[in-house]
Copies of this chain bind each other. A is one copy, B any other.
């Protein structure tokens, strides 16, 4: 017993294969009578026919496939994004091809090559590099591309989280607790959200009537707990701040360790705020106060945009912003009258 083809369906319905094909693709030009369509659809259903995407793809030059590129699948930020993308794509009969670039531009361009060979209809690119040549080339050729959480290039649609809003809330929250010396552990400069968050942090401080100092910002080499731990030690060595805004939750995780290693307590001695609200954030002790980003929503919006773009590559370039919200848990507390941290 071999695989069913459109010919089998056509024969069963008593029509030409081309007619059957058209009946099963109702949106395409060349409409078929309701009767015929019904007959074909019934035949297809009864036989259990499913189109062969390979044959279709070869002829139609569409693959029903979207290439999804993330910088690091091991970072808990991305799986929910991917999930959101897949859910929406599936609703539109599209499949996601997923790959992780490991923050490597060379690898990114290799993977794009592979995707292109497979004739992806579009691309969702969340790899966090600054504007880079391969992606720019793609966009330049008019291939449908949606950027997620990347420095917005006006030429491609994008989805970003409105980090500034949540960071503003975080700073206000800390200010309300009496903190006036608030540090920031920024991520690596190679990642575009880093700059966004750092600027939002400075703006929020000013908005709260605090003049940010250079010495309050320490750069973590990566968005990892290990890098966060080191950076936090550096920041606390300076003995100025009573609260820390970590560049993301993984960096915050490193802060817990650094704070404890110095014999300090969170939140009594140092208040800590993360960004992302990753799955385990509420389970840390103390539970992490953090700027929640709805990652799945980022993914869903990205999928929506790419679906639109595939349907009409010439449509206006849309930029979507997903709102963020401070989630207050246990890692923030009123500032001590006198900071206990300095040497």
Is A82 an interface position by the 8 A CB rule? yes
Is A80 an interface position by the 8 A CB rule? yes
Is A137 an interface position by the 8 A CB rule? no
Is A53 an interface position by the 8 A CB rule? yes
The answer to whether A118 and B53 have CB atoms under 8 Å apart is: yes
The answer to whether B279 and A256 have CB atoms under 8 Å apart is: no
Contact residue range for chain A? Answer: 35 or more
Contact of A253 among B117, B257, B283 (CB under 8 A): B283
A100 nearest CB neighbor, chain B only: B83
The answer to whether B283 and A257 have CB atoms under 8 Å apart is: yes
Task: Mark each residue of chain A from 252 to 277: 1 if its CB lies under 8 Å from any CB of chain B, else 0.
Answer: 01101100100000000000000000
Is A119 an interface position by the 8 A CB rule? yes
Is A50 an interface position by the 8 A CB rule? yes
Question: How many subunits of this chain does the assembly comprise?
Answer: 2
The answer to whether A58 and B50 have CB atoms under 8 Å apart is: no
Task: Mark each residue of chain A from 22 to 58: 1 if its CB lies under 8 Å from any CB of chain B, else 0.
Answer: 0000000000000000000000000000111111011
Within the complex, the shortest CB–CB distance from A96 to chain B, in Å, comes to: 8
Ranked 6 nearest A-B pairs via Cβ: A73-B79, A253-B283, A225-B283, A54-B57, A54-B58, A98-B98
- Chain B residues in 8 Å Cβ range of A253: 280, 283
- Chain B residues in 8 Å Cβ range of A52: 117, 119
Is A106 an interface position by the 8 A CB rule? no
Contact of A54 among B54, B114, B225 (CB under 8 A): B54
